């Protein structure tokens, strides 16, 4: 099963922290997505925090980069979603998400 994760469009104009919950592979998770101008060797990057449904942290400040599986290095933790979270560019050059295009040029898909 493939699910496309949608982010609030307001992030394109105002890269502010966003919190929410999401169902991945039948499990509820909490997330926080935030822009850090100091991450990415000073170029800035979106960072993702993931917690279980009770708020216990699983992964913190994971850089959101173009990849076939953002969780691949966390698979040894059984609390991590065992599916694949792909970050793909839908428009423009093959560069990691910038502060202004996380909602328009990037697609996040979860495959369980």
112 residues of the chain, pLDDT tens digit each: 888 888 888 888 889 999 999 999 999 999 999 999 999 888 899 999 999 999 999 999 999 999 999 999 999 999 999 999 999 999 888 999 999 889 988 999 999 9
If 0-12 CB within 10 Å is exposed, 13-18 middle and 19+ buried, where does residue 76 land?
Answer: exposed
Question: Residue 43: which residues within 8 A CB-CB, separation 6 or more?
Answer: none
Look at residue 43 in the predicted model and tell me its pLDDT. 86
In Å, how far are 17, 55, 80, 89, 92 from 75, measured between CA atoms? 25, 19, 6, 24, 30
Look at residue 106 in the predicted model and tell me its pLDDT. 93
Q: Which domain holds residue 58?
A: 2-111
Whether the Cβ atoms of residue 37 and residue 15 lie closer than 8 Å to each other: no
Q: In the chain, how many domains are there?
A: 1
Look at residue 62 in the predicted model and tell me its pLDDT. 96
pTM: 0.91
């Amino acid at each position: 099963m493939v699910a496309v994760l949608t982010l609030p469009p307001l992030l394109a104009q105002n890269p502010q922290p966003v919190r929410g919950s999401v169902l991945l592979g039948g499990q509820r998770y909490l997330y926080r997505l935030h822009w850090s101008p100091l991450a990415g060797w000073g170029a800035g990057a979106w960072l993702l925090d993931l917690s279980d449904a009770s708020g216990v942290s699983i992964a913190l400040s994971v850089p959101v980069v173009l990849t076939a599986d953002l969780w691949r290095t966390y698979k040894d933790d059984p609390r991590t979603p065992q599916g694949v979270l792909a970050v793909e560019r839908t428009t423009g050059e093959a560069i990691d998400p910038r502060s202004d295009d996380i909602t328009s040029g990037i697609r996040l898909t979860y495959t369980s």
